[in-house]
Chains A and B, each alone.
Chain A
Amino acid sequence: MDIINLFELISRILIISISVSAPYIFAGIGEMFSQKSGVLNLGVEGIMMVGAFSAFYFTWAYNNVLLGIAVSLIVGAVMGLLMGFVSITLKAKQGISGIGIYMLGWGTAGTLFRLFIGGVESIDKGVENIDLPVLGRIPYLGRIFFSHNILVYAAFLLVPLSWYLLYKTPWGLKVRAVGSTPRAADTMGISVNKIRYQCVIIGSTLAGLAGAYLSIAQANMFTSDLIAGRGFIAVALVYFGRWKPFGVLKGALLFSTANAFQRWFQISGINFPYEVTVILPYLLIIVVLAFSHKGFAEPTALTVPYDREFKG
């Protein structure tokens, strides 16, 4: 393989890897906010499913991408409100209520898909790529970094933005306080539950957007197995990223590059059972989880509902 072809291959893999990283970034950063405030939301996968379906349906039926995205955000927020109500107000076990949210999203997306769409449909025009002026024309780098759809740029801007929010604003300080020492935060006059609701809803809204990305920016179609575990992977990336925005970004990029390699592997004609290549990302996540347990980065009040009356 000569050097030009190698460049071509690498840049192709990187183009794919950057564009497929966006849903992991949206969902991962969202889940990070939720966990930072002390709520483990395991329903991300289900929220992504309804987000993906609603975005697809409104884009398909009304030919309007913006409407699709808007609806997916609303649907995500509503799911977040439900998760918040169950796990914050009613203090239900977070791990199990997340599974309830997952199944609710999964079943609802499946039901509405069959009722409203029925079969395989695709949209001609999803979220379109935008070549950034000047930057987009840089050889190789332009195509890799500056020729994506607007949601990809949004995802990459979200990372420094959420870093700023968490570490440089009073609100971010409150979020971190509520997630690590809720009782102290409460004593300081911070409403623990209010901050938690905000974070869970932000997280779920972003999960809805992540789903929308998959259906109307990446696949341009909806199938019941479109999300394929990406919501759970996003939760795993929060652990991998040590609850830090740039850590989550690192995980998302590592993972999407692995995804891009896997795709290249499948179409490269190398004789290998298809099922084995599909397994690789999930195996990778297990390995990543196994090696990311050290240290004490986890918000200390994660999964613990806040109970004012509890005398501990």
Chain B
Amino acid sequence: MKINKAQLIQLAISTAVLGLSLITALLLGSVILIIAGVNPLIAYKALVIDPVSSLFGISEAVVRAVPLMLVGTGISIAFRSQMINIGAEGQIQLGAIAGGAAAIYFSGLPKIFLIPAVILIGFTAGGIWGGIAGWMKAKLSVNEVLSTVMLNYIAFQLYLYLIRGPLIDPAELAWGTGVPQTARIAGAAEISRIFLGYRVHYGIFFAIVMAFFIYFLLWKTTFGFRLRAVGEEKNAAAYAGVKVDKYLVMAMILSGGLAGIAGTVEVLGVHRRVLEGLSANYGFSGIVVALFGRLHPIGVIPASFLFGLLLIGAEKMQRAVDIPSALVISLQGLIILSVVSSSLLLEKKKYRDKIYNIFS
């Protein structure tokens, strides 16, 4: 991969615009805080500075970067083909429950087979869920935002039903505590932690490899070229003989599948069982990560670490200065708004040339 000067300038411009979007979002967010009678400086110190000031904070940020990276990469694929997949939340949950169940029941297999098999099952579960929305878009022109939202609610109830009923830990029933969670997964299915005493696990390397793999798939293969062509010029692609419907469905299967893997990896690497609240809105944060990574798998990698820090910062903020962590959802909403607004600057020639002249 050779990088020339023009590309470097392009990268610098993109990064600068993203940085400005982030600052705009934080400024707008401080308006909410001021309305709520909170000093934004105190809130933002806890949000931005605290997580990077301890090893524990950094480890936890990386733990959160793993699902963000997988989901963000998946959403980039969907968005690239103009499918606005906001169903990652449900796809994560199904991946977690399917992968988790497999990791409990196939306990006899050796690690080297078990982990890939379980991850494949998680991919399949999420992929089917995404594929349904893709198929409905391709064949019945059902707006994918609406279908994925509805599928989210359905997946959520299915997930709760399974961990409260058929898949509940027998020990919970025996002790009468009834906490809605499954039994612990087989030891052979666990993804190991990297350092003793910290939760950061080897899943992070897997997520990075997956991001590079998807980059390769989208930019270095005919399949990827066609998939992106469908997103950029649907009619031209169809005219050139690309089966548009097929690529829409494939994009959604891949997108949902990666979210499914994210759910499975959360089970294998972090919680070691399926429990309530596992998906922690990663499906929505993943959208922000994808947009922040400019819908490019390689861009998603640093974006995931950044938003991992932001999420752990939000938890710290709630504990240290008692500002609700829900604020981070507003901030992410504002980040989405400022990032999509700024694309006018990057995509319109008139503005782009102006900015380009400043940098070169």
Considering the chains assembled together, what is the distance between the CA atoms of A235 and B154 in angstroms?
18
Task: Establish whether residues A111 and B330, one from each chain, have CB atoms under 8 Å apart when the complex forms.
Answer: yes
State whether the Cβ of B182 lies closer than 8 Å to any Cβ in chain A. Answer: no
**Shortest distance in angstroms between B300's beta carbon and chain A's nearest beta carbon?**
16
Q: Which of A139-178 contact B (CB under 8 A)?
A: none
Q: Which residues of B contact A184 (CB under 8 A)?
A: none
Task: Establish whether residues A106 and B324, one from each chain, have CB atoms under 8 Å apart when the complex forms.
Answer: no
> Smallest CB-CB separation from A104: which chain B residue?
B333
A-B pairs with lowest CB-CB distance, top 6: A107-B329, A103-B333, A107-B330, A104-B333, A110-B326, A100-B336
Task: Establish whether residues B336 and A97, one from each chain, have CB atoms under 8 Å apart when the complex forms.
Answer: yes
Q: Which residues of B contact A236 (CB under 8 A)?
A: 143, 146, 150
Q: Which residues of A contact B165 (CB under 8 A)?
A: 273
Given A107-B333, A275-B158, A275-B161, check contact A112 B36 (CB 8 Å).
yes
Q: Which residues of A contact B328 (CB under 8 A)?
A: 107
Describe A's contact surface by its main secondary structure: helix
Q: Which of B153-183 contact A (CB under 8 A)?
A: 153-154, 157-158, 160-161, 164-165
Given A229-B149, A273-B165, check contact A103 B330 (CB 8 Å).
yes
Interface string of B61-90 (1 = CB under 8 A from A): 000000000000000000100001010000
Describe B's contact surface by its main secondary structure: helix
Q: Which residues of A contact B329 (CB under 8 A)?
A: 103, 106-107, 110
State whether the Cβ of B32 lies closer than 8 Å to any Cβ in chain A. Answer: yes
State whether the Cβ of A62 lies closer than 8 Å to any Cβ in chain B. Answer: no
9 pairs, A vs B, C-beta closer than 8 Å: A86-B340, A92-B341, A104-B333, A107-B332, A111-B327, A115-B323, A279-B153, A290-B142, A293-B140
Interface residue tally of chain B, by bracket?
35 or more
Task: Establish whether residues A90 and B344, one from each chain, have CB atoms under 8 Å apart when the complex forms.
Answer: yes
Q: Which of A99, A112, A224, A236 has the most chain B CB atoms closer than 10 A to its own CB?
A: A99
Q: How many residues of A contact B (CB 8 A)?
A: 47
Task: Establish whether residues B161 and A82, one from each chain, have CB atoms under 8 Å apart when the complex forms.
Answer: no
Given A104-B330, A276-B161, check contact A283 B142 (CB 8 Å).
no
Task: Establish whether residues B150 and A229, one from each chain, have CB atoms under 8 Å apart when the complex forms.
Answer: yes
Q: Which residues of A contact B284 (CB under 8 A)?
A: 103
Considering the chains assembled together, what is the distance between the CA atoms of A112 and B38 in angstroms?
11
State whether the Cβ of A93 lies closer than 8 Å to any Cβ in chain B. Answer: yes
State whether the Cβ of A285 lies closer than 8 Å to any Cβ in chain B. Answer: yes
Given A103-B284, A107-B333, A289-B143, check contact A96 B36 (CB 8 Å).
no
State whether the Cβ of B291 lies closer than 8 Å to any Cβ in chain A. Answer: yes
Considering the chains assembled together, what is the distance between the CA atoms of A115 and B33 in angstroms?
10
State whether the Cβ of B10 lies closer than 8 Å to any Cβ in chain A. Answer: no
Q: Which residues of B contact A112 (CB under 8 A)?
A: 32, 35-36
Task: Establish whether residues B157 and A279, one from each chain, have CB atoms under 8 Å apart when the complex forms.
Answer: yes
State whether the Cβ of B343 lies closer than 8 Å to any Cβ in chain A. Answer: yes
Considering the chains assembled together, what is the distance between the CA atoms of A90 and B336 in angstroms?
13
**Shortest distance in angstroms between A83's beta carbon and chain B's nearest beta carbon?**
9
Task: Establish whether residues A108 and B158, one from each chain, have CB atoms under 8 Å apart when the complex forms.
Answer: no
Considering the chains assembled together, what is the distance between the CA atoms of A105 and B324 in angstroms?
14
Q: Which residues of B contact A73 (CB under 8 A)?
A: none
Query: Told that A100-B333, A115-B37, A293-B141 touch, could you supply 4 new A-B pairs with CB distance under 8 A?
Result: A86-B341, A107-B327, A110-B324, A273-B161
State whether the Cβ of A46 lies closer than 8 Å to any Cβ in chain B. Answer: yes
Please pick, from A42, A228, A275, the residue contacting B145 in the complex, using a CB distance under 8 A.
A42
Considering the chains assembled together, what is the distance between the CA atoms of A106 and B89 in angstroms?
15
Please pick, from B142, B323, B324, B334, the residue contacting A104 in the complex, using a CB distance under 8 A.
B334
Interface string of A268-295 (1 = CB under 8 A from B): 0000010110110011011001100100
Q: Which residues of A contact B158 (CB under 8 A)?
A: 275, 279
> Smallest CB-CB separation from B345: which chain A residue?
A90
Task: Establish whether residues A105 and B333, one from each chain, have CB atoms under 8 Å apart when the complex forms.
Answer: yes
Task: Establish whether residues A115 and B330, one from each chain, have CB atoms under 8 Å apart when the complex forms.
Answer: no
Considering the chains assembled together, what is the distance between the CA atoms of A224 and B326 in angstroms?
10
Q: Which residues of A contact B336 (CB under 8 A)?
A: 96-97, 99-100, 103
